[in-house]
Amino acid sequence: MKKMFKMFEIEQKFPANQLVDIPNKIFREMKENLPVNDLPKGSEIAITAGSRGISNIVEILHECVRYLKDAGYKPFLVPAMGSHGAGTAQGQIEVLYHLGITEESVGAEIRSSMEVELLGHTEKGQPVYMDKNAYHADGILVINRIKAHTAFRGKVESGLSKMVTIGLGKIKGASFVHSDGALQMPLNIEEVSLFALQNSPILMGLAIIENGYDETADIVGVSKDNWHEKESELLQYSKSMMPSLPIDNIDILIIEEMGKCYSGTGMDPNIIGRWRIDGVPEPERPFVSKIVVLDIADQSFGNAQGIGLADFTTQRLVDKMDRKSTYTNALTATFLRRAMLPMIYATDKESVETAIQSLGPKIKKESIKIVQIPNTLHLKRIRVSLSVLNELEKTNREIIVKDPHELTFNQDGNLAKINLRLNHIANERSKKNGEHYDSTKGRTGYR
């Protein structure tokens, strides 16, 4: 191992509100917000299932199915994920499969189709599309996690309204909403979702809020009458618990792994402080001078959407990249820069060393601010250089300093990684979601 920089492993503290009794909370929220009196027994109710890795999603869907069955209804799931799964019905079923969402695990049929119904047009002429299976059901239960969006700011961002507009809109709906650019997306999502609420059998929403450790903090029922106001309120609550990088000014950010399982953009722009969307100004903070991303998660199945947010990467990551799925995702979103390749080097070592060199000859080695993270979702345990640690000691940021490390590389040039098992995050998440992978299915997930 060649030593480069003194690093320190630290544990960050984030808001840790956690929902303990998920089944009971779902029962209460469904009972209070579901207008079942309008539906005869035996009615079919569609439940949305998205493409994001949401903590406890299998249990949440299972409990919703159980509640509806106990009430005398016939629930079924519809994949609500825009263009993901290579834009095919079977591909979207496979995305759910890799999240542990199967007919057996949730106890209900999955009806997947890319066919949509045109519900009409908003006052500004925006077409409103909806998944055909969902639209022709007697009722729709919209389920999604509420969080900050990775491309815009608005009253509502990533959540229930986006699930209605883009998720249930499939490729057609997603393409039209994105076509006006990022600055118009907040308004488009509000107007299209409002039209859909008024002209489809949507019954209620079930919003999932996660804390800074990727755990379920709360599950909240949202009625049609108070949809956008309640979602906006929950968005602010979600943002108050978001994890973050330890400081706002970083010279080198090393991201061990990117992928759709961590963020819709592979690397969450809210965390790294980069939009890279034409016509949209970059966030004021955090500011990261150079980003190095080393690998892509197997669970991303080659979709490297967001690779363009980095400055340096490895040949290993590029070799795993499925360009068709990556480009399809970028073209649907219209944010093409996010799919453009950064500088590519043979090893982790070359990538990191070149990033440091790119800072210029005037910067002193001992003052370089380096942060190493496993991915943009799990930020509890990270590694920082001495200059970062010194800056943290001058703030009121709550951290625990763990073990000292060196920024080291093995004989193959691979970087010594952070052990996620120490957090019990990766293992617990996989256990809760029932994640599994069948090698006979091939690399078909997030396309």
Can you give the pLDDT at residue 421?
66
Helix axes 57-70, 425-433, angle to 10 degrees: 30
Residue that the structure tokens 């002429």 belong to = 125
Q: Let me know if residue 104 belongs to a domain.
A: yes
Specify which residues 60 forms β-bridges with: none
Pair 377, 290 in one domain: yes
Shared domain for 354 and 282, answered yes or no, is: yes
CA dihedral 36, 42, 43, 49 (to 10 degrees): 90
Helix or strand holding residue 399 (H, E):
strand 399-409
Whether residue 150 lies inside any domain: the answer is yes
**Are 285 and 397 in the same domain?**
yes
Amino acid 328: pLDDT: 86
Rounded distance between C-alpha atoms, residue 445 and residue 51, angstroms: 9
Same domain flag for 217 and 311: no
3-state secondary structure at position 1:
coil
In a shared domain, residues 257 and 352: yes
Of the candidates 102, 30, 40, 28, the residue with the CA atom closest to the CA atom of residue 68: 30
Q: Which residues are bridge partners to 49 per DSSP? A: 79
Residue 377: inside a domain = yes
CB–CB of 428/420 below 8 Å? no
Domain boundary among 239, 270, 297: 239
Q: How far apart are CA 121 and CA 100, in angstroms?
A: 36
Query: Measuring CA to CA, how many Å separate 214 from each of 4, 9, 58, 273?
Result: 32, 20, 15, 20
Same domain, yes or no: 153 and 179: yes
Instruction: Report the pLDDT value the prediction gives residue 5, as an integer from 0 to 100.
Output: 85
**Token pair of 116 as six digits:** 């949509």
- Verify that 83 and 96 share a domain, yes or no: yes
pTM for the full predicted model: 0.86
Packed helices 57-70 and 22-33: angle between N→C axes, nearest 10 degrees = 50
- Does 269 share its domain with 382? yes
Rg of the chain in Å (alpha carbons): 22
Query: Does a structural domain hold residue 260?
Result: yes
Question: Alpha-carbon distance 347 to 316, whole Å?
Answer: 8
| Whole-angstrom distance, CA of residue 417 vs CA of residue 7 | 12
Asked if residue 446 belongs to a domain, the reply is: no
Report if residue 86 sits inside a domain.
yes
What is the predicted pLDDT for the residue at 318?
A: 98
Domain with residue 174: its CATH number is: 3.40.50.11440
Range of the domain at 309: 2-15+244-431
> What pLDDT tens digit does each residue of the chain (447 aa) get?
455 788 999 999 999 999 999 999 999 999 999 987 778 999 999 999 998 889 999 999 999 999 999 999 999 999 999 888 778 899 899 989 989 999 999 999 999 999 999 999 999 999 999 999 999 999 999 999 999 998 888 999 999 999 999 999 998 999 898 888 888 899 999 999 999 999 999 999 999 999 999 999 999 999 999 999 999 999 999 999 999 999 999 999 999 999 988 998 999 999 999 999 888 889 889 999 999 999 999 888 899 999 999 999 999 999 999 998 899 888 888 899 999 999 999 999 999 999 999 999 999 988 999 999 999 999 999 999 999 999 999 998 999 999 888 888 999 999 999 887 655 443 344 334 433 323 223 323 444
For residue 52, what pLDDT is reported?
A: 81
- Which ranges constitute the DSSP H helices of 273-347? 315-320, 323-333
The answer to whether the CB of 266 falls within 8 A of the CB of 410 is: no
**Assigned domain for 143 exists:** yes
- Among candidate residues 209, 239, 269, the one where a domain is terminated: 239
Are 313 and 270 within one domain?
yes
* pLDDT of the residue at 434: 38
Question: Of 190, 212, 239, which residue is a domain's last?
Answer: 239
Do 235 and 287 fall into the same domain? no
What gap in Å lies between CA 165 and CA 339, rounded to an integer? 23
Q: How far apart are CA 417 and CA 421, in angstroms?
A: 11
**Alpha carbon distance 256, 414 (integer Å):** 10
In a shared domain, residues 41 and 182: yes
* Dihedral angle computed from the Cα positions of residues 183, 272, 142 and 165, in that order, rounded to the nearest 10 degrees: 20
Same domain for 181 and 328?
A: no
Assigned domain for 439 exists = no
Number of separate domains in the chain: 2
Q: What is the DSSP string of 112-135?
A: ----EEEEEE-TT--EEEEEHHHH
